[in-house]
Every structure is written in C-alpha cells, then in structure tokens.
Structure 1
Amino acid sequence: MSVPTAELQALVARPLALADTGLSRHFLTELMLKHLYDAGLLTARQLMQRLALAGPVLEELIEFLRKEVMIDVHGQGFDKRELSYGLTQRGRDTAIDAYARSGYLGPAPVPIQRYREVVAAQTVHHTQVTAGTLNRVFSGVVLKDALKQQLGPAMNSGRAIFIYGPAGTGKTYITQKLTGLFTDTCLIPYAISVNEQVIALFDPLLHQPVDSAEPSPNLMLNQGHDPRFVRCKRPEVVTGGELGMDMLEVHFNPVTKEYQAPLQLKANNGIFIIDDMGRQRATPMEIFNRWIVPMEEKQDYLTLGAGRHFQTPFDQILVFSSNINPLDLADEAFLRRIGYKIYFGFLQADEYGRIWQQVCAEKGIRFDPALLEFALTQLHAGHQVGLRPCHPRDLLGMAQDRVRYMDGDAAVLDIESLTWAWDSYFVSLNAEVEMSSTTLNRRNDHV
C-alpha cells in the first residue's frame, strides 16, 4: 500500500522558520545572493519561487542581509508597491566567492537525513502488486501465464530480478512496462545537501512531475508540502550499453562546480533497469560487484570531493536484463543474491499468431490466415528459426515497405513480399560464407 498523501505532507511540511529547513543561515544567504547575482533584481515572490522557501523564512534572510548591507531595496512597477531586491558591492563580492566554491543555483536543498526519512516513508516495496493489477497493465500483451506468475511475486519481493533469454523475446518491452504497476506518486527533492555540499537530484529527463492542486506560492503560504520536493510519478531509470562505472558515482563538473546524483540515487522509490547486461563499457563483474552492498543492506555509499563518504538509501526495484546466459556473466555467489531469475524463451505458434494479428490491426493490414501459416511452416520451420515476439512486427513492416515501394495496396500482403522481407531481415548463410572467404583472402594479401 502507498503512503497516504496527508502523511507525506506531514513528513515534509513547509518550513516556516529558518531552523525548520535543516540548513544554516550562512548557507541559505549565500544561495540567495547567488540568485540575486544571476538575476540582478528580484521581488520577494520571485525569490521565494527560486529558493522554494516560504515567506517567513525568506523574511528572516532578507532582514539579515539588509543588516549586513549585502542587499538593498528597489521600487518596482508603476505604483512602487512591490519591492525588489538587488546586491550591494559587498553582496556581489560575497556572491562571487560563493560561486567559486559551488556553482549550484536552484531551490534550497533538502538535508540528507530528511531525504532518508522521506524515501523510507514512501518506499516502493510498500506497493503491493496483485494478479489483477498485473493483468490490467499487460492487457493486450501476449505474455505467457507462467511469466506473469513469476513477475508478480518478484515485484513484491523487494529483491533484484534477473530477466534473460534470446534476443528479441520481449525482455526490454516487458521490463519497461513494469512501471505501470505503480499508480501512486512520490516526492523527489530538487537537490540534497551533505554537510551543505549540494547534489542536484531532480532530473526532468527521468522524473515526471504530476499536476499539483496546490495554489501557486505566495509570501505567507504555510500549507502544503515542502516545495523543495516535487511530486512525481515513481521513477523509471533505464540504461543499456552506455552504462559506465562513473554513472554510478556522484559526478562533479569542474567547470560549473556542481555535483550531480548518480543513476541509482535518481531511481530511488522507483525501478532501475539495466538492459543489455554484458554489453556495457564496464565489465559485468565490475557492475555486479557495485551492487552487492546496496542489494543486501538497502543502502548505498557514495563519495564527494576529498574522499568524503556518505550513506544514501537504496530503495528501488533493480532489474537486470540480458540475452547472455547469467552463468556467463556472474558467479553463483552473486546470482544467489538475486531473488528471481526469469527466462524469456521462444513463443508457441498460437502466441505468435496472436501477435501477428495485433500487428496487422495496428498497421492496417488485412489479416490473411494463409500468409500466417506460410510464415510458420515455410519460413520459420523451414529455416529452423525460433518464434520471437519481434518477428511479426519486423517482417510485416518490411513487407509493407516493399508493397508501398511497388505502388501496391499497403493493406494487402502476399507470399512474395513476405519472402522478400524474410530474406532482407535475416543474414544469408551464403553471404556469411562469401564474406568470410573475402576476409581470408584480404588477410592472405598482406602475407
């Protein structure tokens, strides 16, 4: 069960005093000065929106900075009713010094301890997956009942999942649909603070905000959850062959002087899918060894500059997907730590036929039982090629491409066009032999 909205809002109530933010006055005044340095002049409303702080907290900061002669007051607008604030020379010098230490310019961060509490309160493992939920998400998807009986309990287990099988058997498609099992939301901070070193966490490419019913901020608003958090759909982070070990550590940009959270931190309270396992820039054992501690302890250990270590929660469903035998990727000691190993194999003829009919409907192709029978008996059986979920879409699409090129009716396919698609789709054995012979001759040319 997901945590009720009211409870989460109580956990991250809007700070109404500086002490409630969990951040020091020195840190917040420097962040405010950087915003003023960046914008020139800002009203109190604009500062509150930029810093994600309520009016009472902002008033404390403004009062302090005015006493320290770091900001001054300007009139704005025709009637001069709304005041704006700008930097004095002392304020500019302080802002430049602050920029030299940290280039972060965004909403006030959330202290790491508060972040840990919020992640624990909205853990993804409290979301119960039932057979009804899974059937709803995979409605219209051709998926063996045996696989459903494994996927459902695996999602409830709280343990890592290893999905494997031949290429083209639907592993990536199915794993990415798993996030549909989560219909609730979670709160994700714009940034977290570790000893007032800021790590940017919210990523608009990975986190999908949901519409909020809260009114827009105003100077004295004291209701609703802490605006330093964004209410989002549960994260879905997918990475493949591009994954490197550096992407699993805190990244520091020496030019902008900003820290960026690693992928697993951005995936907290959601699902993290590592696709095409075994084809990453890092070796499989490097990646697997990286996950041993987080999987067992449900927490991760990261490093900031100068070797400073800190602990973060590891609250996510970790899914590995590969078309390589797991025994060729990891040893038994690691595989024991993974709760579920789920095999995606070839289809039966009736399952293949259902996908074939679905693709015909999607592409506006008139379904011809005889053409399907030809594909099953003459093409697949004749060439001893297993039935994979990707084949109907690829073969029918290519056959339709040829019919369009021949200026025919794209809704009607025949044996000739399907055979042409088959020959174009699969690597020819004769071509393999010729290419191998050519390669050998070229090598001999250099002898």
Structure 2
Amino acid sequence: MNHSMNLTAAGSTEAADTSQAQHLRTLAPRPLALDETGLSRHFLTELMIKHLYDAGLLTLKQLMQRTALAGPVLEVLIEFLRKEVMIDVHGQGFDKRELSYGLTQRGRESAIDAYARSGYLGPAPVPIQRYREVVAAQTVHHTNVTAESMNQLFTNVVLRDSLKQQLGPAMNSGRAMFIYGPAGTGKTYITQKLTGLFTDSCLIPYAISVNEQVISLFDPLLHQPVEETVQAPSLMFDQGYDPRFVNCRRPEVITGGELGMDMLEVHFNPVTKEYQAPLQLKANNGIFIIDDMGRQRATPMEIFNRWIVPMEEKQDYLTLGAGRHFQTPFDQILVFSSNINPLDLADEAFLRRIGYKIYFGYLQPDEYSRIWQQVCAEKGIDFTPELLDFALTQLHARHEVGLRPCHPRDLLGMAQDRVRYLGGDAASLDTQSLSWAWDSYFVSLDADVEMSPNSVTGRNSHV
C-alpha cells in the first residue's frame, strides 16, 4: 500500500516537473539558428572572441557553457571566424578527438578592440523586445492570493486578521501599497514574508541587449535559481529552454536608507565599460520593497516622483549613454514602508495613486502574550505567567510604552544574556533580569540632562 502511494507521489512529481519543463520551453524556446537569437552575427562574433581572448583555448562545449548559445549557432560563428582568419582549430586531449579553438593574431587584435567598446563578458544577452514578452507572460499580477494562502503563510506569525484582509487583496490588486506605523511594529518582517505567497518561478535573463548595448541583469545576491530545474547547456540542441535565462524564484528586492536616485537608473562603469541594471529592473516579476521611507539619501518627493509614470503605465523609461532612451516593463509589487506619517512624506495627489495604505499599530495584550510565549519556546526559556504579567503591568504600563512585536524577543534575549553572564540557568529568568534588560534596551530621555549642558528639563520617557 505504502509502496503504491510512493509510486503515485513520485509519478505526480515527475509529471509536474515535465509540465514545468514544457512551460519553460514554450515561454522561452532555445534558439537553434542565428536569426532566432535576435542578435547580429557581428555582435555574437565579438562576444565569442572576447571569451576566447579571456580563456585562451575553448572547446565547443565550453563555448556553449560560456555563451549560452546552442551548438548550431556557434558552428555558424566558428565557420565565419575561420574564414576571416580570426581563430585557429587545435586538437586537445590524448586522442585529439575533441577540437578546441583559439585566436589568431588578427583575432586577438579584434578582441582588444571589442573590449574597448564593451567590457561585458558573459552569456549572450536577450534582446529587449524578447525580454518584454517574457516578463509579460509571467507577470506577477497573475498570482492569485487567497485567504487560505494568507492564513497558511502566517500560520506561526501573530498577525491580526484585519491586516491579512488588507494585505491579501493588495497583493492581488497590482497596485502599490504604503505600509506605515510606529517603529518595531513588524512592517519589515511582514512585508518580507509576502514573497512566500509566490509558489511559482520566473525566468531572469543574465543580461539584456538594447541596440546591442549589453545591460547585466541577473544578480546572484537578489535572484535565487530553482535548483530542480537548473540546466547546463548540453549537446542536445533541441532540449531545454533558452539558457540565456535562469529559472529563479520570484525576486524580492529590498532597499532602505542607502537608496539614492542613481540606484534607480542604469549604471555605467567607465573602468570596466559595463552597464548594470537598476533595482526596479532586477525586481521585475517580483516584489520591490522600499523600507524606512523618508530616511533615504534622496528626498521622499524625488523618490515618489520617480514612480509616478511607472505606477500608472506599468512601463519604465531608462537612459543609456549619449541620452539614448529605452522602455522596460514595470511588473512588480511596489511596497513603501515607513514609520513616518504618509502625509508628512507625500502630498495627497501622490497618495491617491497608491491603492492601499495599511497601518501597523501597537499590539493588544493577548497578541503580545502569544509572541512572548513563542519567543520563550524558541529560546528555551521556561514560560511563567508571572514574568509576562510583570512585563505588561510593571514595565510597559508603568512607563507608558506601547506593545510592539519586537519587544518580547529583544527583552527576553537581553535578559538571557545577563543570566548567562552571571553563570545562571538561561532557561529561568526573573523580574530582576527583565528589569535590567528593560533599562539597557530603552534610552531614557532623562539622560539629556547629563549629556547636554543646554538641556533645561528632562522627560521621563523611553524610546
């Protein structure tokens, strides 16, 4: 019985993998001829001789792996380069059966000239028009978020139903959202978990080509390949999807106070002569979170104004050198997160363009208690109702400090640090250790009296 069930499950998994593979081949079929790449012979030969210049000698298989081009395409390029006396054919290995290719003097000179024009060295890029088509076909806005998927995602997270009922429809809407509320109320943590609603993958190109200017797009720090479908270029020319793409989980791009306007434009490195895609291009088919809104290097209005056209038209307009403009898709869920009142950051005209404004406030005592118990279980701390009651009544209520999701983890962790330092049992905490953690965690504004000679009065408050 169990054996039959295992066979059925294995068969279902294999069928799903086959279906996914077929979907990818349909979405981005592998180019088997030069004209199917969307790139010119001149461009591809320059890319090929740069790879040969970099490596010295390469076999056909190695060239396939480096350029992500099929054998028939490379064979056309090799034949052309041989006629132009730019490459030589060499034997390799004991039996001399595997041929390798290297540059002639003329080929090396041409490669140096090619490097002077563009320093890009990687897989062949995807033409911008093909990229637009693939992004549209795998749009993030076709993801259907349901109440069931929201509840499943936040099964072990304390999040009130009213917030789930706002976040879920917002994810389905295709519109930007503004999440705001006091610091420490879980805005960043919750928004980062939203990518868990995406159960599918998407194809990300290594690079795109705009009039044969190459812009690197795939970023290993932001794009996570799906291991089950990772493919290496093989000699089976008619199998697999276009290897100029990587099958990845839907992107999650997060930026905070480091964000500057230059990070939202194509960046050109004059030393390496390479173009790098901006953050929003890397976030296509995924989610782009701008955290700590209002604390960036750029002003809030500069950042907001940058998004007006993309949010309305679902298109972005970027610039290459010499003022050349081009259009890219803007297919992502854009999330602004801030602990500053939205009305202090943007005018009402802009806020109207943001479909959802979602407030994250302080916790209720029962929500705080559930988080407290979760943290105790995670840290191996014995839960006692008396210690929790002390935190609620003698610390939070007495000092008039609102209940935030970050407090249980921070306070219990610091109290545990003290117990370990004193050689005690880290599983058993008392009110003395918790009070010590409270005093170490919060900054009393009474300290202004001692730290600033100009202070006239001190306030008994905590931040």
1:148–1:213 Cα change, 3 Å = closer
Instruction: Identify unmatched segments of 5+ residues in structure 1.
Output: 441-447
Residue 445 of structure 1 corresponds to which residue in structure 2?
none
Q: CA deviation at 1:219?
A: 3.1
Q: CA deviation at 1:427?
A: 1.1
Match of 2:279 among 235, 248, 263: 263
* Contact 2:257-2:297 within 8 A present in 1 as well: yes
1:213–1:426 Cα change, 3 Å = closer
What SS does the corresponding residue of 1:336 show, helix, strand or coil? helix
1:314–1:408 Cα change, 3 Å = same
Question: Distance in 1 between the 2:400 and 2:274 partners?
Answer: 55
1:107-135: CA deviations, max 9, x gaps?
Answer: 00000000000000000000100011111
Deviates more, 1:212-221 or 1:91-100: 212-221
1:246-305: CA deviations, max 9, x gaps?
Answer: 000000000000000000000000000000000000000000000000000000000000
Match of 2:388 among 372, 385, 393: 372
Deviates more, 1:423-432 or 1:66-75: 423-432
Residue 32 of structure 2 corresponds to which residue in structure 1?
16
Question: Distance in 1 between the 2:385 and 2:230 partners?
Answer: 55
Q: CA deviation at 1:438?
A: 6.1
Residue 352 of structure 2 corresponds to which residue in structure 1?
336
Question: Distance in 1 between the 2:116 and 2:305 partners?
Answer: 36
Match of 1:297 among 313, 320, 326: 313
Question: Distance in 2 between the 1:293 and 1:56 partners?
Answer: 43
Q: What is the aligned length? A: 438
Question: Distance in 1 between the 2:337 and 2:59 partners?
Answer: 51
* Contact 2:65-2:232 within 8 A present in 1 as well: no
* Contact 1:44-1:219 within 8 A present in 2 as well: no
* Contact 1:275-1:320 within 8 A present in 2 as well: yes
What SS does the corresponding residue of 1:437 show, helix, strand or coil? coil
TM-score (norm 1): 0.96
1:294-348: CA deviations, max 9, x gaps?
Answer: 0000000000000000000000000000000000000001000000000000000
Q: Percent identity?
A: 85
Question: Distance in 1 between the 2:72 and 2:21 partners?
Answer: 24
Residue 388 of structure 1 corresponds to which residue in structure 2?
404
Verify: 1:126 aligned to 2:142, yes or no. yes
Q: CA deviation at 1:4?
A: 6.1
Match of 1:207 among 214, 218, 223: 223
Verify: 1:6 aligned to 2:25, yes or no. no
Residue 196 of structure 1 corresponds to which residue in structure 2?
212
Question: Distance in 1 between the 2:446 and 2:28 partners?
Answer: 66
Task: Give, as a single letter, the amino acid of the residue that structure 2 aligns with 1:54.
Answer: A
Match of 2:186 among 145, 170, 191: 170
Residue 46 of structure 1 corresponds to which residue in structure 2?
62
1:170-211: CA deviations, max 9, x gaps?
Answer: 000000000000010000000000000000000000000012
Question: Distance in 2 between the 1:347 and 1:212 partners?
Answer: 41
Q: CA deviation at 1:214?
A: 6.7
Q: CA deviation at 1:220?
A: 4.4
Residue 296 of structure 2 corresponds to which residue in structure 1?
280
Question: Distance in 2 between the 1:412 and 1:211 partners?
Answer: 43
Q: CA deviation at 1:432?
A: 2.4
* Contact 1:299-1:313 within 8 A present in 2 as well: yes
Task: Give, as a single letter, the amino acid of the residue that structure 1 aligns with 2:50.
Answer: K
Match of 2:115 among 83, 99, 109: 99
Q: CA deviation at 1:428?
A: 1.8
Instruction: Identify unmatched segments of 5+ residues in structure 2.
Output: 1-18, 457-463
1:216–1:259 Cα change, 3 Å = closer
1:204-243: CA deviations, max 9, x gaps?
Answer: 0000001244764233421111000000000000000000
Question: Distance in 1 between the 2:178 and 2:396 partners?
Answer: 29
TM-score (norm 2): 0.93
Q: CA deviation at 1:8?
A: 3.8
* Contact 2:38-2:127 within 8 A present in 1 as well: yes
Question: Distance in 2 between the 1:118 and 1:376 partners?
Answer: 53
Question: Distance in 2 between the 1:385 and 1:216 partners?
Answer: 56
Question: Distance in 2 between the 1:76 and 1:131 partners?
Answer: 61
Match of 1:249 among 265, 288, 292: 265
Verify: 1:361 aligned to 2:360, yes or no. no
* Contact 1:8-1:121 within 8 A present in 2 as well: no
1:385-441: CA deviations, max 9, x gaps?
Answer: 00000000011011111111111110000010101111111112321222233678x
Residue 446 of structure 2 corresponds to which residue in structure 1?
430
1:55-83: CA deviations, max 9, x gaps?
Answer: 11010000100011000001100000000
Aligned CA-pair RMSD: 1.2
Verify: 1:148 aligned to 2:164, yes or no. yes
1:151-173: CA deviations, max 9, x gaps?
Answer: 00000000001000000000000
* Contact 1:276-1:323 within 8 A present in 2 as well: yes
Question: Distance in 1 between the 2:224 and 2:179 partners?
Answer: 26
* Contact 2:293-2:337 within 8 A present in 1 as well: yes
Residue 347 of structure 1 corresponds to which residue in structure 2?
363
Question: Distance in 1 between the 2:266 and 2:104 partners?
Answer: 35
